[in-house]
Amino acid sequence: MNTTMLPLNPIDWDSLDATGRAAVLRRPTAAVAVEVRTAVERVIAQVRADGDVALRALTRRFDGVELGAFAVGEDEFAAAERAVDDGLKRAMREARERIVAWHRAGMPREFEIETAPGVRCGRLLRPIARVGLYVPAGSAPLPSTALMLAVPAKLAGCRELVLCTPPRADGRADPAVLVAARLCGVDRVLKLGGAQAIAAMAYGTESVPRCDKLFGPGNAYVTAAKQLVAQDPDGAAIDMPAGPSEVLVIADAGADPDFVAADLLSQAEHGPDSQVILVSDSDQLLAAVLDALPRQLSTLPRADIARRALEHARLVKVARLEDAFALSNAYAPEHLILALREPRNWLDQVEAAGSVFLGDYAPEALGDYCSGTNHVLPTGGAARAYSGVSVASFQTAISVQEVGAEGLRAIGPCAATLARAEALAAHERAVTLRIGRIGGAA
């Protein structure tokens, strides 16, 4: 195989105007966004109207499976335990421990302070009661996603966890996904995939309980479904847009081109709508990566999928590394790899990214599985405003204030003055009436 089989040519960033640069950073899903949204709207309407009947029809249509019941029973859980080898179980337990440690260290905390004499303000944390977890299993099952979602949900204290994952051709859920779910204490698993699973968890059906908030990554259809139900007052909240995978690598002349090529392909093999971008100030590095890509691609079992994803890949030459970070911040990648000699020194330049990987020995794949950080991350540029899944994602923060007579005298006049400025007389009276009763001046 040679490089001519890959539609990749390095792009000179400095030669592009604003329109050209925007075109380089355009996601592949943008071209079909309207079509996807229309299809998903139909699926959601069908599930809302017909419940389980619609779910069976859609599962037959999209998964090629006829299901009598969606819930995974105890026999199927037991069969999954027998089917998964001990080595994989050990790896999942090992990964879970690191995921627990990282999420526990970053958990939010309750607090209370005195903001004025007699005025105490605090914050309470409460778990979201019922959460829906979506674990993809389309072209490849993702038991790691079950760990990434269930661990923080359990640490947050959520009472009910509903996990949906697509059925296999034999009508069963992927055994590794079931073992991962049980490892994290999730017993309610439903064999449902795609936009129909999101609709079912958002609105509820005869078999699927309505959830307060939905979590998890997915393809363009799943992501569109999550966004649509989040916009509906009768729908459900969501964690973030977490769609087709993407990685941006910033590499200098000292980077190992084989490592860089491997990192690009590790994301490209997720799906044909994944996107990978390499940015470098070194022509030699770009050329070496371009040479390494087809050699590595030829050895991959999912080469056809990765090759289709590479149609959306970009190799970009910049004059300075500072320009690479400006490009990255504009793109706001899900994953950002800094294949640099002093990567930590560049962290201050990172303004928008889901997760950052420092140096030559931090492949993005470690974050996917077992470094401890969460791999459910914002995509499609959402990293400008969203963060990856954490324990806080599964909680609400409730503010509390306790005010005594001394506190009312201290801060009541401030509130009354602001209320008058806003012409809200009832607000002002609610304060001054109390001040008058306890004796004081507003």
Write the DSSP assignment of 384-404 as a string of letters. Answer: GT-----GGGGEEEEEEEEE-
Can you tell me the mean pLDDT for 175-180? Answer: 98
Listing from the earlier edge strand, what are the strands of the sheet with 160-165? 189-191, 160-165, 130-134, 213-215, 237-238
Assess contact for 95 and 144: CB atoms under 8 A. Answer: yes
Q: What is the mean pLDDT of residues 415-421?
A: 98
pLDDT score for 2:
41
Instruction: Kindly state the tokens that stand for 3.
Output: 């490089």
Give the confidence band of 32 by pLDDT, cuts at 50, 70, 90: confident
Mean pLDDT, rounded, for 45-64 = 97
Q: Where does the pLDDT of residue 410 fall: very low under 50, low under 70, confident under 90, or very high at 90 and above?
A: very high
Predicted confidence at residue 407, as pLDDT, reads 97
Residue 224 has pLDDT above 70, yes or no: yes
- The pLDDT-based confidence of 7 (bands split at 50, 70, 90) is low
Q: What are phi and psi of 86, to 5 degrees?
A: -65, -35
245 marked ligand binding residue: yes
Could you give the residue numbers annotated as active site?
Answer: 334-335
Note whether 337 and 368 are within 8 A (CB).
no
Q: Determine the pLDDT at residue 84.
A: 97
- pLDDT of residue 1 exceeding 60: no
Is 267 marked as a binding-site residue? yes
The mean pLDDT of 262-270, rounded to a whole number, is 97
- Ligand-binding annotation for 274, yes or no, is no
Specify the amino acid at residue 312.
Answer: H
Whose structure tokens read 């936009």?
Answer: 195
By the 10 Å C-beta count (0-12 exposed, 13-18 middle, 19+ buried), 121 is classed as middle
CA–CA dist 348, 403 (Å, integer):
41
273 vs 246: CA distance, rounded Å: 9
| Predicted pLDDT at 6 | 64
Q: Is 410 helix (H, G, I), strand (E, B) or coil?
A: helix
Query: Is the pLDDT assigned to residue 52 strictly greater than 60?
Result: yes
- Round the average pLDDT of the chain to a whole number and report it: 96
Burial of residue 34 (number of CB atoms within 10 Å: 0-12, 13-18, 19+):
exposed
| Rounded average pLDDT over 121-126 | 98
281 is in an annotated binding site: no
Q: Tell me which residue of 81, 132, 347 sits closest to 237, measured CA to CA.
A: 132
Q: Which of 153, 188, 186 is nearest to 394 (CA)?
A: 153
Nearest to 276 by CA among 38, 28, 65, 76: 28
Residue 185 · residue 160 · CB < 8 Å: no
Measured CA to CA, the distance from residue 334 to residue 197 in angstroms comes to 24
Note whether 142 and 170 are within 8 A (CB): no
- Region 417-424: mean pLDDT is 98
In this predicted structure, the answer to whether residue 8 has a pLDDT above a threshold of 90 is no
Structural domains of the chain in order of their starting residue, each with its CATH number:
3-27+244-362 (3.40.50.1980), 33-242+391-396 (3.40.50.1980), 404-438 (no CATH)
Residue 146: the pLDDT is 98
DSSP state of 370: T
Q: What is the CA radius of gyration of the chain?
A: 25
- What's the rounded Cα separation, in Å, for the pair 130 and 201? 10
Residue 81 annotated in ligand binding: no
- For residues 359-382, average pLDDT: 97
- What mean pLDDT is predicted for residues 276-283? 98
The string of pLDDT tens digits covering residues 64-107 is 999 999 999 999 999 999 999 999 999 999 999 999 999 999 99
Task: Establish whether 196 is an annotated binding residue.
Answer: yes
Whether the model pTM is above 0.85: yes
Residue type, 248: L
Residue 214 has pLDDT above 80, yes or no: yes
Interstrand relation of 395-403 and 119-127 (parallel, antiparallel or unpaired): antiparallel
Phi (first) and psi of residue 332, to 5 degrees: 55, 70
Confidence band for 288, pLDDT divided at 50, 70 and 90: very high
| Residue 312 assigned to a binding site | no
- Of all residues in the chain, what percent carry a pLDDT higher than 70? 98
Dihedral sign for Cα atoms in the order 16, 326, 255, 265: negative
Q: What pLDDT is recorded for position 144?
A: 97
